Structure 1
Amino acid sequence: MANHVAGPEIEKLIKLLARLPGLGQRSARRVALHLIKNKDQLLIPLSDAMATAVDKIQVCETCGNVDSANPCTICTDARRDPSLLVVVEDVSDLWALERASVLNAAYHVLGGTLSPLDGIGPDDLNIGGLLARTDKGEIKEIILAVNATVEGQTTAHYITDQLQAQAKQASVINPDFQPIKISQLAHGVPIGGELDYLDEGTLLQAMRSRKEFS
């Protein structure tokens, strides 16, 4: 039986689609066939949109978000509170928080987490850009919205140490300097979660982060 059922152009399309998250070889074939069957409605508009994305999309020099403008739409939104900065690992985390309409704040994308085993150190992340933004004195609170993983928490501790060192140095120069408040996301039992299905780490964090019932 032949390994290929279509020409090289279609096979290349399938291989590229198979690299996307959540798509395997079979799913990629189904998607490719659907696009081909709907050439005018889907394939051509998708091709045009991707060509435009290649030309227009860029990384925001301020926060690390991806947009067709630099600074990005979020950074140029005058309605946002510039004193509140949410630090996230990846652009996908930023978009998730925006979908939930959690806060009308500014953002900063680190571009990953510290991982010595993978050779990822502080210089590989956008931590320097974060310290440069906090050094301007406009930010009053930083929310470390990193994942509850070993790498995420290690990164959060490192950033906290850097911010505290920065604040200590600033207080020597200016005795009236007010240090930035540093907070993190609450971790524990999710809404709708049943205790019997949760892991021990989640239960432990939920118990430690307990609060008065209201």
Structure 2
Amino acid sequence: MKHEYPEGFQNLINLLKGLPGVGRRTAERMAFSMLKWPPEKLAEFGTAVCELRKNTTFCPECGNLSSAGSSCGICSSASRDRTIICAVEESFQIFNIEQSGLFKGVYHVIGGKLSPLEGKGIDDLNIKNLLKRIDVDKVKEVILAFSNDVEGQATSIYIAEELKKKNVNVTRLAHGLPAGSDISYADSATIAAALHGRRPL
């Protein structure tokens, strides 16, 4: 007879497997680890998950993560240069760039990249709001910090063409990011080099 986990335990494994980069074996190890947690830690974890969508939302200005009902810390900071925008695919990439300590402008989260095979087109991305910000904040430069793959390049080209209609300087990350690479996995030194060497698009 095939061995099966108790239903509740298997349900947890199935949910964990739905996370990016988590396979069956990893999900099992995570579930077994959680099984050893004291009740109060499990309760704290459960509360954090249940309240995630209630307490965490997206910044109405840039699309970055923020506390519910407020702009993110970067958009709220008076020390950031609002005339320079760094456009990224997803909000977690902002934290990668911030680790470099080099960029002092603000960000804009596009929400992915053009991918016809996945059914993601222009209207599915946060591009219109980016174009609006150009006029509102008198933006001088937009840095396109997208992954250096086919979809990322296609997205960069489309956005660059739209931005050029507004006479704004458009640049992209340069050397340091090899062809086909994903900015999500680049370290702070690599990102710093790419920011320093950004070039017109």
Question: What does 1:50-89 align with in structure 2 at a 5 Å threshold?
Answer: 50-69=49-68, 70-89=70-89
Alignment partners' CA distance in 2, 1:137 and 1:12: 48
Match of 2:18 in 1: 19
Question: What does 1:21-40 align with in structure 2 at a 5 Å threshold?
Answer: 21-40=20-39
- TM-score normalized by structure 1? 0.76
Unpaired stretches in structure 1, ≥5 consecutive residues: 168-178, 191-208, 210-214
Deviation at 1:64, TM superposition (A): 0.9
Match of 1:186 in 2: 174
Alignment partners' CA distance in 2, 1:90 and 1:189: 17
State yes or no: 1:95 paired with 2:125.
no
Deviation at 1:3, TM superposition (A): 3.6
Alignment partners' CA distance in 2, 1:137 and 1:91: 21
- Partner deviation per Cα, 1:47-80 (whole Å, 9 max, x = no partner): 1222221321112121111222432222111121
Match of 2:8 in 1: 9
Question: What does 1:164-175 align with in structure 2 at a 5 Å threshold?
Answer: 164-165=164-165, 167=166
Which portions of structure 1, spanning 4 or more consecutive aligned residues, are displaced by more than 6 angstroms? none
Which shifted more, 69-78 or 57-66? 69-78
Alignment partners' CA distance in 2, 1:10 and 1:108: 40
Deviation at 1:34, TM superposition (A): 0.9
Deviation at 1:153, TM superposition (A): 1.1
Deviation at 1:36, TM superposition (A): 1.3
Return closer, same or farther for 1:103/1:188 CA change in 2, 3 Å cut-off.
closer
Match of 2:135 in 1: 135
Deviation at 1:189, TM superposition (A): 6.9
Letter in 1 for 2:36: K
Ranked by relative contact order (alpha carbons within 8 Å, sequence separation 6 or more), the top structure is 2
Alignment partners' CA distance in 2, 1:187 and 1:41: 48
Alignment partners' CA distance in 2, 1:101 and 1:46: 31
Q: Percent identity between the aligned chains?
A: 39
Return closer, same or farther for 1:189/1:121 CA change in 2, 3 Å cut-off.
closer
- Partner deviation per Cα, 1:141-191 (whole Å, 9 max, x = no partner): 1111111111111111111111122x2xxxxxxxxxxx322111003577x
- Aligned-residue RMSD, C-alpha: 2.1
Alignment partners' CA distance in 2, 1:139 and 1:14: 47
SS of aligned partner of 1:95:
helix
SS of aligned partner of 2:33:
helix
Deviation at 1:32, TM superposition (A): 0.9
Checking the alignment, whether the CA contact within 8 Å between 1:82 and 1:105 is kept in structure 2 is yes
Alignment partners' CA distance in 1, 2:26 and 2:176: 35
Checking the alignment, whether the CA contact within 8 Å between 1:87 and 1:108 is kept in structure 2 is yes
Letter in 1 for 2:171: S
Checking the alignment, whether the CA contact within 8 Å between 2:56 and 2:67 is kept in structure 1 is yes
Checking the alignment, whether the CA contact within 8 Å between 1:148 and 1:187 is kept in structure 2 is no
Alignment partners' CA distance in 2, 1:113 and 1:78: 30
Match of 1:151 in 2: 151
Match of 1:48 in 2: 47
